[in-house]
Amino acid sequence: MDKSYYDELKRFSFALSEKKEEREDEGLSFESKPLRIRIIATIDQFGRGKDYRILEEELIALGHEVQFLSPKSNIPDEVVDVNLFLNEYRTGFIPFAHGNYFIPNPEWCYFDESYLKECNYILCRTKEVDRICKDIGLETYELGFTSCDYYQEDVKKAYHKPFHTIGMGIQKGTQELLNVWEKNPDFPKLTFLESRELYTTNAPNVDQQVRFVAQTDYIRLMNEHGLHIYPCHTEGYGHLILEAMSTGAVVITTDAPPMNEHIRDSRFLVRWETKEQVQMATKYYADEKHLEEVIRSVLQMSEEELKEVGEQNREYYLKGREKFRENLKNLFGEAD
């Protein structure tokens, strides 16, 4: 986030001090239900859109009223119970809610405690976000999160059939993965799906598909492939990893936070070689040699072994979803 834009919106907040005093006189109380919750977010067809739709669905399931507002909208004149800032924080909106909460993606965000101090809590989807925020003195709440459940029981899964997709992402470790495949012509065919051509490869054992895939076809591909490989540089949460886990797939990823919060079995974790700071996040670049070794080792495991790992991954996904729902309910309550 641009710090100058923060300054501009902070001036808006001072100019609206009367409204802020009105909000404070009313007091902060979530006793009355349902709550009016305004989610302030930019929505796309990828991760940010998923974040919004998941929050909207879960809050409505708790009986609350959900409003949507773009961060580029004019500052509202209605005071609601909760402003829920999703990835983008705008101080000008602060006076217009009894409670203010921010769910950040650290690789996109400029964090400054002086601009976030009016938030009741920073809602942390991963332990890595919680660490980052606590290190600069911010109040946090471990919210957790969830992803779409793409499990299809009737689709037979091939655990030695590898899959990689990126959506709009450029931090999924795609180049490192393609480099490994080019060096190993004996590896099985890798299905590599991207909606626009960001990468090229000459590897004959890579099935590169540059196309828009209908949701039903995408979910089928996710389920047919039992081995998903994402040597990610960083993640705000890790939707692709969790979606793969929801299908009962085996997932190979980078041994760095927050990726290794989800995948903990060392057999499926790849050492990182270099790292760099991006906004408030750290990007980790996988060691290609170790990536190759991990993939080769996993390909040598039996279907039965990998099926068991996939089932454990799905169990992790289901438990995480329930914990997220519990945390959300503890935070905002449930309408009578």
Section 165-185 average pLDDT: 92
- Using CA atoms, how far apart are residues 86 and 104, in angstroms rounded to an integer? 6
Q: What is the pLDDT of residue 48?
A: 75
Interval 257-285 mean pLDDT: 96
**Dist CA 36 CA 300 (whole Å):** 53
For 106-159, the pLDDT digits (tens) are 887 766 677 788 889 999 999 999 999 998 888 999 999 999 999 999 999 999
For the chain, percent of residues with pLDDT exceeding 90: 72
Phi, psi torsion values for 83, nearest 5 degrees: -95, 125
What is the β-pairing status of strands 281-286 and 272-278? antiparallel
Higher-scoring residue by pLDDT: 43, 205: 205
Q: Is residue 13's pLDDT more than 50?
A: no
SS3 264: coil
3-state secondary structure of 163: strand
Confidence of residue 247 (pLDDT cuts 50, 70, 90): very high
Q: How many CB atoms lie within 10 A of CB 106?
A: 23
Looking at residue 236, the DSSP 8-state letter turns out to be: S
Query: Each residue of 227-236: pLDDT tens digit?
Result: 999 999 999 9
CA angle, 20 then 25 then 29, to 5°: 100
Domains of the chain and CATH, by start: 3-143 (3.40.50), 158-319 (3.40.50.2000)
pLDDT on residue 8: 43
Whole-number pLDDT of residue 30: 63
Q: Is 86 helix (H, G, I), strand (E, B) or coil?
A: strand
pLDDT in tens, 277-333: 988 899 999 999 999 999 999 999 999 999 999 999 999 999 999 999 999 999 999
- Strands 140-142 and 158-165 come out as unpaired
- Can you give the pLDDT at residue 89? 86
Overall size of the chain counted in residues: 336
CA dist 174 and 203 (Å) reads: 13
Three-state DSSP class for 269?
strand
Beta strands 225-230 and 269-270 are: unpaired
**From CA 86, how far away is CA 64, in angstroms rounded?**
17
Q: Is 50 helix (H, G, I), strand (E, B) or coil?
A: helix
